Amino acid sequence: MIEIGQLLRQARESKDLSLADVEADTRIRQRYLNALESGDWDELPNPVAARGFLRRYATYLGLDPAELVAQFDEQVALAPAPTAPANASENSASDYRPIDLDIYGAATRRPRILRRILGFLLLLIPLAILVYLLFAYGFPYLRGRADGGENITATVELPPEGQAPGAPIIGETPTATAPPPTEEGSAPLPATFTPTSTTGPTDTPTITPSPTLTPTPAEAIRLRVVVTSTTWLRVVTDGQVQVESLVDPGFDQEFVAYKILEFLTGNAGGVKLTLDGTPMPPLGDIGEIVVFDWEIQDGQVVEITPTPLPTPSATVETTTTPEPTGTPAPGG
């Protein structure tokens, strides 16, 4: 008869399994598996645990567990009982070894299966939601893009400008239709015109509307000042005085205002102005005082009436010569 350990080892090796593989599947430590295969029953915790390990190991390898357990009982019964040492009571606490029994092996498999089923359901729910959204929104959107995304818009053809509604279309000849006869004494009905198509193709003129030019709203007032002759110059932008002094020829500067721009020169013939890129006409003669005020109104640069300059008050002293008094001498 083949030994139990040898039979177990042959069955394991025929399946190309290692002790580590068997330990991972059966939850039996490798030291106990090695003891079962070598027949070293003393390495097992006790006969009850040894029978449980042997039954589980045999079932895992596809052997008859009842036959192997019966053979194990015969070998254990023939083996001499170990003699207890004299100081067994003293060493009982130190010889205690916990028994590694997989009592809850079947119970732990059920929660594992339940966890797998629950994880599968949790994965299936988002997938179902994704499929629903795809069928509800994705496919209609893709079909619309495949059709070119063109929308059918109803259009109404209006008659050309200057032509009354209901007038005959160009290319058709109106035909007068006589009114039906009326009774005596009643007013005759006006003749109705029915348009009839002329033979042959006709050219229908195409009226192209002229584009309407919309002026661009002005955002700032830009004034370029070029001085050709010495002059007194004063420029104020949005309330800030930029220049207020006597300026020599060669002065060339651009001023920008966003609300109002004030300009004053004491020598109109020696200054050239360019407003928003457009040169202005000559301002005046040499030595002439010129004042301009520009303001942005409704997006347009508008010239406003300048504030009159204060005129200095002249004090006129009047000297009165007293007339001589007295009686002229007679005879002069």
String of DSSP letters for 286-301 = TT--EEEEEEEETTEE
The pLDDT of residue 180: 56
Q: Would you say residue 136 lies in a domain?
A: no
Residue 12: CATH number of its domain: 1.10.260.40
Q: Are 279 and 272 in contact (CB under 8 A)?
A: yes
What are the residue ranges of helices labelled H in 79-224? 88-91, 105-133, 139-146
- CB-CB contact of 236 with 256 (8 Å): no
**What CATH code is carried by the domain that includes residue 289?**
2.60.40
Q: What is the number of domains present in the chain?
A: 2
Q: What are the contacts of 63-67 at 24+ separation with CB within 8 A?
A: 63/7, 63/8, 63/11
Point out the domain boundary residue: 78, 105, 129.
Answer: 78
φ/ψ (deg, to 5) at 236: -125, 125
Max Cα–Cα distance, the chain, nearest Å:
199
Residue 311 inside a domain? The answer is: no
- Report DSSP letters for 208-238, one per residue: -PPPPPPPPPP--EEEEEEESS-EEEEEEET
| Assigned domain for 141 exists | no
Q: What is the mean pLDDT of each run of 10 residues along the chain (332 residues)?
A: 79 87 89 86 86 89 87 72 48 47 53 86 92 86 68 56 54 51 53 51 55 66 93 92 93 93 92 92 91 89 74 46 50 43
Residues 6+ apart with CB under 8 A from 222: 254, 255, 256, 275, 276, 277
- Residue 23, domain extent: 4-78
Domain finish residue from 37, 61, 78 = 78
Of 33, 48, 78, the residue at which a domain comes to its end is 78
